[in-house]
Structure 1
Amino acid sequence: MAYQNILAEIRSQVLYVTINRELKLNALNKETLAELADVIAFAAHNDEVRAVLLTGAGEKAFVAGADISEFAAYTAEQGEVLARNGQNSVFDAIENCPKPVIAAINGFALGGGLELAMACHIRVASENARLGLPEVSLGLIPGYGGTQRLTQLVGKGRAIEMITTADMITAAHAEKIGLVNHVVPAAELLSKVEEILAKIKLRAPLAIASAVKAVNASLLFDENGFETEIREFGKCFDTNDFKEGTTAFLEKRKPAFLGK
């Protein structure tokens, strides 16, 4: 897969995606968002990919924000289109991806960068990471799901405080309030993510996809999450993976799941 702004490579059934704009602190411009949309769609439909590791090039930034120069002169209508397109093609696509997406947060995750990390299913941060939503400093609010996902992760009071003060928080504080799952030394960031991925790859891929869908449904106002769970639970019974998992359990051996 050849891109101009990201690097993408499948290794051991994991799609490694690196936003590769280190001199720009991996800021999200239109081209980068388009490439992210393409690579996430690829991951969702490629049987070789069992999970995605998403990170930024270098040690300074995961993603330091959006490329402000691209939308500084936008009208209200253009701003709404910008947010809607980004939400649909990238941020919601990541959240709804049937393959677990883990963000390896190395350095700054600000604005659209934190929104990108929050769209991922799991977040692991290096000790030097700094996270925040500074949009009100520009006369804006988060437009890629930040107001919604931050509230879901840390609660209303903390979300409003972070957004209205525009303060950055440390990785340790982010872990304390539930914004990230783990904090590790920078040198151990990728190995920690790979440790989690190694466990995920041992499990049934179709069951994992169903679990992600059911968990996401718990946050949808127009869907009954319990009903989604029941339907997805039932679907699992028609998979070869279910037969393999139960047979392996009864035969006291490790299962070999094929995602079928």
Structure 2
Amino acid sequence: MSKNAVDQGDVRIERKGGVAYVEFHHPLSNSLPGKVLAKLANTITELGEDKEVLVIVLQSEGDRAFCAGASFDELISIDNLDTGKVFFSGFANVINAMRKCPKFIIGRVQGKAVGGGVGLASSVDYCFATKFAAVKLSELAVGIGPFVVGPAVERKIGTSGMSELAINATEWRTAEWARDKGLYTEVFDTAHDMDKAISELIEKLSGSNPEAMAELKRVFWQGTEHWDDLLAERAAISGRLVLSDFTRNAIEKFKKK
């Protein structure tokens, strides 16, 4: 891989038996520009169709930042409605790919999750985290809102938890808060302990009936069949708001911090 490709972020796949480890990376706290979002959605879709894959683990590179959400550089470059909708549709496509994937997706959240990162954690089927995995939905603070990730977050932690995060957009919530709300299944003191628990769960799932797991996955996501249209509508809202002077000024201020 070239240095330039690394600087722009990437998605890597490592296979171990029937387990596919999907790792995304970006030098700016694992933020998600459009190209990384597209590759992530395509990767999950392809692995879902791969008969050799039993379980998928979604993770990011590094120690203390799981995902910083949308790329500010890309946000500030949006200059028309179509471009805005396309960018935010990138998050919609990843969520919908995870929703439709017939394989269980296990989340490994080693550090802080912001905005779209909370959306990713909400869209996996079973999520592990460390005590460093605080969460925040910061979108309102930059003049937009968590419109695209909102349905996934609300499905996981309820309307009350979702509205708490969305309204108090500058306040971090601890990993323990996220666990108590149902976003994380377990929270560990170290990444080593988390990885051990992930391995134990994978070992159990490796002996499970793939057809039964696929049917369970369908049951878990019943009632979301309209999300292709819903998330596209939400992407259009964000795409419109990101063009406002308020949002552009707010993003510039955040970038300077």
- Structure 1 residue aligned with 2:91: 86
- Structure 1 residue aligned with 2:130: 126
- Please show how residues 58-207 of structure 1 align to structure 2 within 5 Å: 58-74=62-78, 75-88=80-93, 90-144=94-148, 146-166=149-169, 167-186=171-190, 187-207=192-212
* Cα distance in 2, alignment partners of residues 46 and 220 from structure 1: 22
- Checking the alignment, whether the CA contact within 8 Å between 2:156 and 2:182 is kept in structure 1 is yes
- Checking the alignment, whether the CA contact within 8 Å between 1:25 and 1:63 is kept in structure 2 is yes
Structure possessing the higher relative contact order (Cα contacts under 8 Å, 6 or more residues apart): 2
**TM-score, normalized by length of structure 2?**
0.79
The Cα of 1:218 is off from its aligned counterpart by 4.1
**TM-score, normalized by length of structure 1?**
0.78
- Checking the alignment, whether the CA contact within 8 Å between 1:95 and 1:119 is kept in structure 2 is yes
Q: SS in structure 2 opposite 1:25?
A: coil
The Cα of 1:185 is off from its aligned counterpart by 1.9
Q: SS in structure 2 opposite 1:172?
A: helix
Which ranges in structure 2 are unaligned for 5 or more consecutive residues?
Answer: 228-257
Residues matched between the structures, number: 219
The Cα of 1:196 is off from its aligned counterpart by 1.4
* Cα distance in 2, alignment partners of residues 116 and 188 from structure 1: 22
* CA pair 58-191 structure 1, distance change in 2 beyond 3 A: same
Which ranges in structure 1 are unaligned for 5 or more consecutive residues?
Answer: 223-260
Moved over 6 A (4+): none
The Cα of 1:103 is off from its aligned counterpart by 0.9
- Checking the alignment, whether the CA contact within 8 Å between 1:132 and 1:169 is kept in structure 2 is yes
- Checking the alignment, whether the CA contact within 8 Å between 1:184 and 1:192 is kept in structure 2 is no
* Cα RMSD for the two superposed structures: 2.1
Identity of aligned residues (%): 26
Q: SS in structure 1 opposite 2:14?
A: strand
What amino acid sits opposite 2:121 in the alignment? A
* Cα distance in 2, alignment partners of residues 49 and 40 from structure 1: 11
The Cα of 1:138 is off from its aligned counterpart by 0.7
Q: SS in structure 1 opposite 2:107?
A: strand
Q: SS in structure 2 opposite 1:198?
A: helix
